[in-house]
Amino acid sequence: MDEPFDLLTAALLPGLGPRKVRQLAARGPLRLALARPQDHRDLLTESAAASLRSGEATRRAMADLETARRLGVTVLGWDDPVYPTLLRCAYDPPPVLYVRGALPPAEAAKLAIAIVGARAASLEGRALARALGRDLAAAGATVVSGLARGIDTAAHEGALQGGGCTIAVLGSALDRLYPRENASLATAIAGSGAVVSEFPFGTAPCAGNFPRRNRVLAAWSQAVVVVEAATRSGALITARYALDEGREVMAVPGHPSQRGSEGTNQLLKDGAALVRNARDVAAEIGLELSAALDTVPAGGLLDELRPDVPTSLDDLHERTGRDLPKLLAELTRLEVESRIRRLPGPLYLRIPPERV
């Protein structure tokens, strides 16, 4: 086993990505390799070797560990038993993770589901992501997402509502949290799971970091559920990484006219499993959900809708008295089944039986 300090030192070297760190570690104890940079010129850049010879690499690693201690952050090497099992087995895992909070035990971490999607998500999409996060977390799954606005935020909130574990993987350092408005959410997540980054302290949330974040999201999880996504989006990048790692990819269908449905509908066309609710996810991965999961009875909800006059979401919420996320999840299911039609507003029309 390599010490976390040695892995951190290697990870901070310029020009030495995760793949080269793994290759370097495969040559023997990492500490010895770092002490003799002249023996590894095929892997180490000249600037990396100079940093090791001058002691700058060691000083930088010590500074990161001191910052971690001050902020209550754990620096976890890939040899650590708590390092996520699925991530460790990935093609290109980060040598170290900066962890605020506590990761679940390795065995429990194997049942991890990533829920991702659009930042500019619809009300219905956010409600469904929240319901998925809640029900899956309540069943014992770890809900993994990226703390971004929209779908990610809703998935984390749902997992917290479900009383389960959720992991937020960042595209920036832990001391450069992004987006800032999710600071209180990050604190809540750290209380029941963890906020995690592979980036050293001080790393800003630049665009190039997010594909790396998405790679970790996909490799961490047994399956990836995409709730809403445009044709070019980070969520689809996560789905591609998941396929590369042999993970299950699932998607929520949507109306073809909605931009947020373009990516998910394409995933379904390409063979992704269709998701309407947490039961669909559970069926794909063999997870047992409580039979008491509450949904709005379809018949009762349909009785509140007319085929000739649209009904607003606010009216439905008031008439049914149901929890809004559950109501929206059931409306989404009925729309997928072509039993209702959603109009801008949002407004809803019942489709007459003869046209279903």
* Residue 96 within a domain: no
Are 250 and 303 part of one and the same domain? no
Are 240 and 174 part of one and the same domain? yes
285 within 8 A of 114, measured Cβ to Cβ: no
> Domain total for the chain?
3
**In a 3-state reduction of DSSP, which class is residue 112?**
strand
Give φ, ψ of 102 to 5 degrees.
-140, 130
Are 64 and 148 part of one and the same domain? no
| Residue 294 pLDDT > 70 | no
CA distance 219 to 238: 9
- Beta partners for 261? none
Q: At 249, which CATH number?
A: 3.40.50.450
Of 26-35, 67-76, 291-300, the least confident: 291-300
Could you tell me the residue range of the domain that residue 50 belongs to?
1-71
* Residue 86 within a domain: no
**In a 3-state reduction of DSSP, which class is residue 312?**
strand
Q: How confident is the model at residue 296 (pLDDT cuts 50, 70, 90)?
A: very low
Of 47-61, 213-227, 333-347, the least confident: 333-347
pTM of the model: 0.82
* Residue 292 within a domain: no
Are 157 and 277 part of one and the same domain? yes
**In a 3-state reduction of DSSP, which class is residue 347?**
strand
Sheet of 311-312: strand order equals 311-312, 347-350, 340-343
Residue identified by tokens 């001391």 is: 175
Are 200 and 321 part of one and the same domain? no
Are 271 and 311 part of one and the same domain? no
Are 123 and 266 part of one and the same domain? yes
Are 233 and 323 part of one and the same domain? no
Boundary of a domain, candidates 231, 253, 285: 285
* Residue 81 within a domain: no
Q: Choose between 333 and 111: higher pLDDT.
A: 111
**Residue type at position 5:** F
Are 227 and 269 part of one and the same domain? yes
Q: What is the pLDDT of residues 97-110, one digit of tens each?
A: 999 999 988 666 67
Are 159 and 272 part of one and the same domain? yes
* Residue 179 within a domain: yes
* Residue 89 within a domain: no
* Residue 21 within a domain: yes
- Beta partners for 75? 98
Are 60 and 206 part of one and the same domain? no
- Beta partners for 251? 226, 274
Q: What is the pLDDT of residues 126-162, one digit of tens each?
A: 989 999 999 999 999 999 999 999 999 999 999 999 9
Are 272 and 312 part of one and the same domain? no
Boundary of a domain, candidates 285, 306, 322: 285
- CB-based contacts of 320: which residues, under 8 Å, 6+ apart? 296, 300, 301, 304, 327
Boundary of a domain, candidates 71, 96, 128: 71
- CB-based contacts of 108: which residues, under 8 Å, 6+ apart? 140, 142, 165
* Residue 83 within a domain: no
Percent of the chain with pLDDT over 70: 94
- CB-based contacts of 39: which residues, under 8 Å, 6+ apart? 33
